[in-house]
Amino acid sequence: MNRRSLLATTTAALFAPAALRAQERVLSLYSSRHYDTDRELYDGFTRQSGVRIRLIEANADQLLERIRSEGANSPADVLITVDAGRLARAQEAGVLQRVSSPTLDARIPAHLRDPEGHWFGFSVRARVVMYDKALGLPAGLTRYEDLAKPEYRGMVTTRSSGNIYSIGWTASMLAANGAEATEAWARGIAANLSRPPAGGDTDQIRAVAAGQGRLAISNTYYLGNLARSQRAEDRAVAERMAVLFPNQADRGTHVNISGAGVVRTAPNREAAVAFLDYLSSQPAQAVFADGNSEYPVVADAQPSAFLRGLGNFRQDQLNAARIGALSPEALRIMQRAGWR
């Protein structure tokens, strides 16, 4: 989801001494989000705090590499990514620092932030099953575990095993069911695929709309973004789809986060923490999440009309940090199971 290339940011100010940058009251935000609504949000922080936001956009791996190569002189104050796996990678790479904020601790649910405060989730996406309303949901399907059963042969369309969403999802299965059961499950998924894994979540939704499978595995926001697309054919696809939130009678539906942390070498640490606090405020939450059809993480912010239309659901409370820790094993299990 990171289509923009690295922006040129070789301005003199960027390389000015830290003290001078602090005087200028500029916060350097390295973001792999690319939504126009985010800009409105950043302007809101500037109005409130007087701190201007300098936005550096690229994909998460590029941003991480850039922070590492800039080293102690990095102007980066805050890193924002669109999944917990990449936040965990940034933490492992040592580029994030611990933050202790009473506001964040009070407002962000515990399972959506690093227990040590290296990063915080600011919006949630659920990994759900989407199906064609006209065909309905095949009988007996209520859990992720069911997707591996022989009666759903040829019905499942999903991304490749190497994709970070597949890895996070399988890591959640691993946490719930253990290695042996998860490998058997992954074999069942591989056996039930309607086609070899290809493309992103939107491609899985389109495949089901085109009859190439019955059950698309996708994050919720891809459907939300199709529903508000400028293109009539996208809206028509979204209109045909219904959503199953799996595992509602037990641990809940697997969720992932878009989140942020303060960079270890942040020249403006105080402003960086103030910015994270601001992102957890009720008005900022609604805008931040809605920019990508995601769920806010705080109880007092409303999801978009589209998400409200999908209904309430129970979230798996597994900590995003645990998902990050189990991810390497999850990938090995999927590969052993023949999930391409």
Backbone conformation region of residue 140, classed left if phi is above 0, alpha if psi is from -120 to 50, else beta: left
Residue closer to Fe ion (CB basis): 218 or 319:
218
Q: How far is the CB of 219 from Fe ion (least distance, A)?
A: 6
Q: What is the C-alpha to C-alpha distance for residues 251 and 195, in angstroms, rounded to an integer?
A: 29
Which residue lies nearer to Fe ion by CB, 1 or 104? 1
Smallest distance, Fe ion to C-beta of residue 162, A: 14
Q: Which is nearer to Fe ion, 1 or 128 (CB)?
A: 1
- Give least dist CB 82 to Fe ion, A: 6
Q: Per rule CB under 5 A, is residue 112 in the interface with Fe ion? A: no
Shortest Cβ distance from residue 126 to Fe ion (Å)?
Answer: 12
Q: How far is the CB of 160 from Fe ion (least distance, A)?
A: 14
Neighbours of 150 (CB within 10 A): 8
Nearer residue to Fe ion within complex by CB, 27 or 237: 237
Q: How far is the CB of 83 from Fe ion (least distance, A)?
A: 7
Number of residue whose CB is nearest Fe ion = 1
DSSP three-state, residue 24: helix
Q: Which is nearer to Fe ion, 224 or 303 (CB)?
A: 224
28/292 with CB nearer Fe ion? 292
Q: What are the distances in angstroms from CA 272 to CA 165, 209, 259? A: 28, 43, 14
Instruction: Restricting to residues 152-171, name those near Fe ion by CB under 5 A.
Output: none
3-state secondary structure of 318: coil
- Cβ-Cβ contacts under 8 Å for 18 (sequence gap 6 or more): 267
Find the distance separating the first CA and the last CA of the chain, reported in whole Å.
21
Q: What is the DSSP string of 125-158?
A: EEEEEEEETTT-PPTT--SGGGGGSGGGTT-EE-
Cβ contact 278:104 at 8 Å? no
Count of positions on this chain that bind Fe ion (CB under 5 A): 1
CA distance 118 to 264: 9
Q: Which is nearer to Fe ion, 70 or 234 (CB)?
A: 234
Helix (H) or strand (E) holding 56: strand 52-57
x-or-dash string of contact with Fe ion, 1-20, rule CB under 5 A:
x-------------------
Non-local (6+) Cβ contacts of 15 within 8 A are 73, 75
User: Closer CB to Fe ion, residue 201 or residue 316?
Assistant: 201
Closer to Fe ion by CB, 1 or 274: give it: 1
What Å distances lie between residue 9 and 6, 12, 46, 75, 174, CA to CA? 9, 9, 20, 11, 42
Report in angstroms how near the CB of residue 36 gets to Fe ion at its nearest.
17
* DSSP secondary structure letters along 34-49: --HHHHHHHHHHHHHH
Residues that bind Fe ion (CB under 5 A): 1
